[in-house]
Amino acid sequence: MIDARVRKIHKTLAALGAPAGTVATREPPIMLATLADRPPTGPGWLFELKWDGVRVLASRNGGPTELVGRSGQVVTGRYPEIARALDKLPLDRFVLDGEVMALDERGRPSFQRLQARMGLSDPRDVERAMAQVAVEAAFFDCLALDGRDLRGLPLVARKDCLRLLLPDRGPVRRADHVTDDGAAYFAAAGKAGLEGIVAKRMESRYTAGRSREWLKVKSQQRQELVIGGYTDPQGSRGYFGALHLGVYEPASGRGVPRLVYAGRVGTGFDEKTLRAISAALRPLRRETSPFAVGSPPGRGHHWVEPRLVAEVRFTEWTDDGLLRHPAFLGLRNDKRPEECVREVAAPEPPRARTAPPKRAATRSKAAAGSPAAPSPAEARTKLTNLHKVFWPADGYTKGDLIAYYDAVAPWLLPYLKDRPVVLTRYPDGITGKSFFQQDAPDSTPSWIRTERLHSKDANREIDYFVLDDAESLRYVANLGTIPLHLWSARVGALDRPDWLVLDLDPKGAPFTDVVTVAQTLHRILDDLSLPSYPKTSGASGLHILVPLGARYGHEDARTFARLLALLAVEAASAISTVVRPIRGREGKVYVDFGQNGHGRTIVAPFAVRPLPGAPASCPLEWSEVTARLDPTRFTIKTLPARLEKTGDLLAPVLKGSIDMAAAVARIEGRAASVKPSRGEAPAAPGRKPGRRRTPRA
C-alpha cells in the first residue's frame, strides 16, 4: 500500500513535468557557489546557512543508500548512520545534495570536531568513533526523485520536493531557508558563530560547477589550500613548526596550472593533529620546493609533494597574495589539490529597481564601516562603582574611563581583534595600587575570549585576554583597566608581526629632541621608500610604526628595527642613543628597538595612561610632529571628538607591508657609494661622521 506521502510526491512530480532520467553520482555533478563579500539585495533570492561540514550526494536506486563526496569518493562507510537513516525513507530512488556535519557542545557545526570521522576507513574505527562523535546531515537540494531528473526545474520547485521527502528535524533532515532580508540573516549567522550563509536565486537550475546563481558569504574567510612543505619545530612543539601552503593559478593558453605560494600556518594544531599530519607528510618528502611562484625566505624548510589539502581560516589576503593571520582547521580528503584556487569575491549582483525603504536619513558609526558599541539589549557587563574617582586632580571617574572606551571602540577594536593583550589594572585609580594581568582568572565569563599561549618569559601556559568586541572591552575597563598593551602579532600568526615599532623614549631629554629624532627617522624611512606612522605613547614619548603585513618573523623585524635605530642615531648622534641603561644615555633620546619580538607589547592606540589629565595614545599626521606638538592635549575628553573629525590616522599600518630585502639593499647600495677615502677611518657612533656609513645590524 502506497502511503499518503508517496502519493503526494507522485502527484507533485507529475504536475511539475519533470522528465524521466537518472543522475550519475560517481562523477559528481555538484553545483558550487561563488564567493561574495555581502548578501545580494532585491527580490528573487533565498538564503540558507552555510554548514561547516563536508558535502555529499546521497544516492539510492532500489538498494542501500550510497554517499559520495565531491571528489567522487564513496564515503558511505564513514557515516553509516546517515545512510541507514536515508534507507528508511518511503522512496527508494533519489539523489539528494547536502552536508554532513558534527555539532559542538553549543549545537553549532564544527569542522574540527568532524575531523575525527572524516579520515576513517576501517569499520571498527568508525564504530568506535560513532560513540564519540555523532554526525548529522542537512540536505538542501533534490537532483532526482522516483526516476525523474529534477535538475532542470527551478530551485523552489526542487525544494518543494525535498520538503515532501525529508523531515524538518532529526539526524537526517532538510535544510531551512528564508526568503527575505539576507543581510539580517547573515548578521544573525555571524553573531551565532556560524560560518556564513549561501544565497541562491529561487529560479536557478541545478548545473554542474561553480555558478553565480549561488553565492556564499562567509562570516570568516576560509579556504582550502595545498600543503607544499613545513618548517622545523620551535620550542617545546614536536613534529613541525608550520605548514607551507599554496593555491593553484589557472593555466593560460596551453600552459599547466602553477602552484603559487600563499604563506604558512602555524597555529590551530593539537598534539594529536601534529602527529597525524607529520605521519601523512613523511612519505611525500621531496628535495625541491613544489611552488612554481614564490617561496618562503630563510632556512629550516622541508618540501613535500603537493597532495594534501588543508582548510584554513584567515582574516584577509595581503597585497602580496599571502594569507593574513591563518589558523589551521583540518585536512580535506574530499578535495583534490588541483581544485584549490584563490577564491575572489564576485561583484554584488545588480539590484532590482525597487523603491527604497523609508527610514531616517541618519549615518551611524556602524553604517560607516566601524563596529558600534553594544546596545543595552546586548550588554552583558554589570558596571560597578561608576562614581569612584580615578583621577583625583581632574575629577575623572571610573565611569568616565568606561564611557571613553565605549566611545573609541570603533577605532580601537581593529587593533585588539585576534590579538593577545596585557591589562594594567588600577582598581582604586591612578594614585592607588596597580598590577599587571596577563592571565585571565577562572572567574572570567565564558563569553570573553581567551587564548592559551606559551609564555617564553614565564615558561608556562597563559590564558591571554583577546578583546574582539566592544562588550569585552567594556568588561576589562570595568575591572579598572586603564592602559592596554597588545602584541604585534595576532592569534593565528603569532610568529609574524603586523608591524615593527621604534619607541622614542626621552627619560630626561627635552620633548623637542624626541620630535627632532622622529623627524630624522621619518626622513630616513622616506628616503628608503618605506611607509611609517607616528603616534604618541600617551606618556612622554613617540612611537613610529612600520607595517610588515605579517610577512616576516620577529627576529627579522627586530634586526631591521635595530638597523633603522642605528641609522637614526648616526644621523642625530648629539641627541639620540641606543644605550638602554638610563645612566648611560647622557640625557639623550633612547631609540628603543627592543619592543619587537615574540610576546613584546606596546601601548595600544587610543589606550589611556594612568597619568594626570588622563592622556591617551594618539595617532598623528607627520605634519603634526613639530616643536609645537603637545601630547598631553590628547585625553579621554578630547580624543573622541578628534577621531570623529580625523578618523584613524594609523589604520594603514594594519593593511600595508614593506619589502625588507629591497630596503636593506638600498641601504647597502647608498653606503657603498660613500665609502671613506683611503686612510680615513669611518666615524664612530656618537660622533658626527665625516662620511656616511651603514651601521651593522
Residues 695 and 379: their CA atoms lie apart, in Å, by 53
Those residues with Cβ within 8 angstroms of residue 598's Cβ, 6 or more apart along the chain or in another chain: 456, 489, 494, 495, 554
* CB half-sphere exposure, 379, CA atoms < 13 A: 9
- Edge to edge, the sheet with strand 542-547 lists 533-536, 542-547, 499-505, 589-592, 576-577
| Residue 255 confidence (pLDDT) | 63
Of 455-464, 495-504, 641-650, minimum mean pLDDT range:
455-464
Distance between CA atoms of 201 and 203, rounded to whole angstroms? 5
Q: Which pLDDT value is given to residue 669?
A: 83
β-pair partners for 547: 499
For the chain, helix (H) and strand (E) counts, in that order, are 13, 32
Q: Label residue 283 by pLDDT band (50, 70, 90).
A: very high
β partners of residue 667: none
- State the residue for C-alpha cell 511539475: 16
pLDDT at 353: 33
Per CATH, the number for 369-487 is: 3.90.920.10
pLDDT at 596 over 90: yes
pLDDT score, position 385: 92
Give which of 105, 166, 113 is closest to 138, Cα–Cα.
Answer: 166
Half-sphere exposure of 92 (CA within 13 A, CB side): 5
Q: Which of these, 479, 449, 481, lies nearest to 467 by C-alpha position?
A: 449
Which among 543, 551, 535 is positioned nearest to 642, based on CA atoms? 535
DSSP code at position 442: T
- Cβ neighbours for 338, distance < 8 A, ≥ 6 positions apart: 248, 257
Please, which pLDDT band fits residue 417 given cuts at 50, 70 and 90?
very high
- The region of weakest confidence among 350-364, 376-390, 409-423 is 350-364
For residue 308, what are the CA distances in angstroms to 245, 267, 455?
A: 10, 17, 32
pLDDT value for 693: 38
Given pLDDT bands bounded at 50, 70 and 90, which one contains residue 252?
A: low
pLDDT reading at 674 higher than 50: yes
Closest CA to 89 of 162, 21, 155, 16: 162
In this prediction the pTM is 0.50
Sequence ranges of the chain with CATH classification 2.40.50.140: 222-339
pLDDT of residue 371: 34
- Tell me the three cell numbers of residue 261: 605560494
In CATH, 495-600+624-697 is 3.40.190.10: no
Burial degree of 353 (CB within 10 A; 0-12, 13-18, 19+): exposed
Q: Is residue 50 annotated as a catalytic residue, yes or no? A: yes
Question: How does strand 93-101 pair with strand 54-61?
Answer: antiparallel
Q: Inform me whether the pLDDT recorded for 267 exceeds 70.
A: yes
pLDDT digits (tens, 9 = 90+) for 337-375: 988 998 876 555 444 333 333 323 322 332 233 333 333
Give the model confidence (pLDDT) of 183-223 as tens digits.
889 888 877 778 889 999 999 999 988 888 999 988 777 88
Mean pLDDT in residue range 222-251: 88
Question: Which has more confidence, 224 or 380?
Answer: 224
Q: Is-contact 240 275, C-beta < 8 A?
A: no
Q: In the chain, which residues fall in CATH 3.90.920.10?
A: 369-487, 495-600+624-697
The per-residue DSSP string of 112-154 comes to: HHHHHHHT--SHHHHHHHHHH---EEEEEEEEEETTEE-TTS-
Q: Which CATH number fits domain 222-339: 3.40.50.1980, 3.30.750.24, 3.90.1150.10, 2.40.50.140?
A: 2.40.50.140
Average pLDDT over residues 416-429: 95
Instruction: Tell me the pLDDT band of 379, cut-offs 50, 70 and 90.
Output: low
Residue 28 confidence (pLDDT): 63
First-to-last C-alpha distance (Å) of the chain: 86
Q: How many percent of the chain have pLDDT more than 90? A: 58
The catalytic residue among 50, 159, 216, 417 is 50
Write the CATH number of the domain with boundaries 4-219.
Answer: 3.30.470.30
Percent of the chain with pLDDT over 70: 89
pLDDT for 675 equals 52
Question: Per-residue pLDDT for 1 more than 60?
Answer: no
Q: Name the average pLDDT for the chain.
A: 86
Digit-coded pLDDT (tens) for 7-48: 898 999 989 888 888 887 766 678 999 888 788 888 899 999
Task: Give the whole-angstrom CA distance, residue 99 versus residue 455.
Answer: 40
253: confidence class by pLDDT, cuts 50, 70, 90: low
